[in-house]
Amino acid sequence: MKEIKLHDTTFKIYIPETEIAEIVQKIAEEINNTGIENPLFIAVLNGSFLFAADVIRKITIDNTEVSFIKLASYEGTESTGKVNELIGLNQDLKGRNIIILEDIIDTGITLEKIISLLEKEEVADIKVATLLFKPDAYTKEIPIDYIGKSIPNDFVVGYGLDYDEIGRNLPHIFKLKN
């Protein structure tokens, strides 16, 4: 499976599943060594579902909790413009130690929105873990605590990441062939 086609676009293998497993292990170890108590992992759907499933199994911290959110953005009916909401946030987050699990951080716009919504819930602490990070695209100042792998500004797909909704099931991460 060195090359694949999605929506008539060719992708070539970039990060094989063996390397993904090593990256996941490294992030889990870093998180395990932090001493965060009773952490609440919040995985950002859809893209992070495989990363979250794999990393969570390697977390050995007592009283670990896991939840999932999805960011919904829609155009308001009035001139207020775009409204963002976290779907799935139905528990009290006040005073909690949150670790956000993201598949990929690109410009950081999504991350910034999630953090501002979580801050309204008066959480105690927010840490950010991402499988992939595109430093050249990042426009925000928010520190990213755990980075699996920094990559160039290439479009990638697989292991949860989609290209127009397909490709999430691929075990390896592929990048655009050019």
68/155 with CB nearer ligand IMP? 155
- Residue 160 binding Mg ion, by CB under 5 A: no
CA dist 106 and 139 (Å) reads: 9
Closest separation in Å from C-beta 62 to ligand IMP = 30
Q: Which residues bind ligand IMP (CB under 6 A)?
A: 47, 103-111, 155-157, 161
45/89 with CB nearer ligand IMP? 45
Residue 55, token pair as written in the block: 């990393």
CA dist 134 and 153 (Å) reads: 6
DSSP 160: T
63/178 with CB nearer ligand IMP? 178
**Closest alpha carbon to 49 in 150, 131, 156, 144:** 131
Mask of contacts with Mg ion, 26-65, x by CB under 5 A? ---------------------x------------------
54/103 with CB nearer ligand IMP? 103
Q: Where are the beta strands (DSSP E) in the chain?
A: 3-6, 9-15, 39-45, 65-75, 82-87, 97-105, 125-133, 146-150, 156-157, 173-176
Residue 108: which of Mg ion, ligand IMP, none does it interact with, CB under 5 to 8 A by kind? ligand IMP
For the annotated catalytic residues, the residue numbers are 106
CA dist 142 and 120 (Å) reads: 17
Residue 52: which of ligand IMP, Mg ion, none does it interact with, CB under 5 to 8 A by kind? none
Residue 100: which of ligand IMP, Mg ion, none does it interact with, CB under 5 to 8 A by kind? none
Closest separation in Å from C-beta 29 to ligand IMP = 24
Give the three-class secondary structure for 73. Answer: strand
Closest separation in Å from C-beta 103 to Mg ion = 5
CA dist 135 and 30 (Å) reads: 20
**List of residues contacting Mg ion (CB under 5 A):** 47, 103
